Amino acid sequence: MIVNQLRAAVAHCGRWTAVNQLTRTNSDMAEFREVFSKARHIAIITGAGVSAESGVPTIRGAEGRWRTWKTQDLATPGSFWRHPSRVWEFYHYRRELALNAQPSGAHRAIAECEARLSRQGRSLVVITQNIDELHQRAGSKSVLEVHGNQFHTRCVSCGDVEVNHKSPICPSLEGKGSPDPDVPDALIPVKDLPRCDEKGCDGLLRPHVIWFGETLDSHILTKVEKELETCDLCLVVGTSSVVYPAALFGPQVASRGVPVAEFNTKVTPNTPRFRFHFPGRCAETLPVALARHESELI
């Protein structure tokens, strides 16, 4: 099973021979379009690059800083327990960015394609590493969120998970979260941070996302496994292919002999393993790739 292999690979920090096999990558859009026209079940794996085109900075890379800290250092359980006010300021900033952002051309192309293919008895699923709900706001219905959702909260006391789109999420965070390095921490008392509404609980809430050092949701991984095992075309869009285990998804599909197309501004460690690579902004390349094919009747 793919997920079992993924878990084993992460646990042992290894890769399989199949994943290491290289293929001849090309950028022939006409050839891709022919493959696309015959696909019945398409899996699209998306990463931070898709949302970056909507103005949402990536957690990693050159943009991956908030004030004086690396953002990936804030997205950890240890950081939350040591500095809950700081981490909530950071996520308040990220939530507000996403709420004010608009889905990119890539988000919209994926959603339009899913709706169109569903009318033809075909299917498209999005497997995303993003936590910003921009796919759903663009209209995507079938979305698997590998790293959780920043508009869901989880109580650290009772474990209750709730959808939460409040802006701000609590009064004490209003006007807070500026990324300016000269802005000091707000040092909000824990009692004034987001709290659980469950009767008799009032526990501290945290974003319901997968932080660095935490294990992915096994239920989501099982669903991802099914999609990776049954898709007959896979697109890897806007991801640097360095975050595991998601970086293994595309190569594992390719190891089955299924065409995989990568859409990214630059080559990645996995590019040689894929049949197609289309450089450039996803908002420009993906609408062309997923547009209605001349063979489509509906």
Binding residues: 47-66, 91, 94, 129-132, 155, 158, 196, 201, 238-240, 264-266, 282
Are 55 and 97 in contact by the 8 Å Cβ rule? The answer is yes
Helix axis angle, 282-289 to 29-38, nearest 10°? 50
Are 29 and 235 in contact by the 8 Å Cβ rule? The answer is no
Known binding residues for NAD(+) are: 47-66, 129-132, 238-240, 264-266, 282
Sign of CA dihedral 210, 214, 220, 226: positive
- Rounded CA-CA distance 247/7 in Å is 12
At CA 130, angle to CA 221 and CA 234, rounded to 5?
Answer: 60
Instruction: Tell me the β-bridge partners of 279.
Output: 264
One-letter-per-residue 3-state SS of 191-246: HHCCECCCCCCCCEEEEEECCCCCCCCHHHHHHHHHHHHHCCEEEEECCCCCCCCH
Are 165 and 99 in contact by the 8 Å Cβ rule? The answer is yes
Catalytic position from the list 92, 135, 147, 208: 147
147 is annotated as an active-site residue? yes
Known binding residues for Zn(2+) are: 155, 158, 196, 201
Provide the annotated active-site residues. Answer: 147
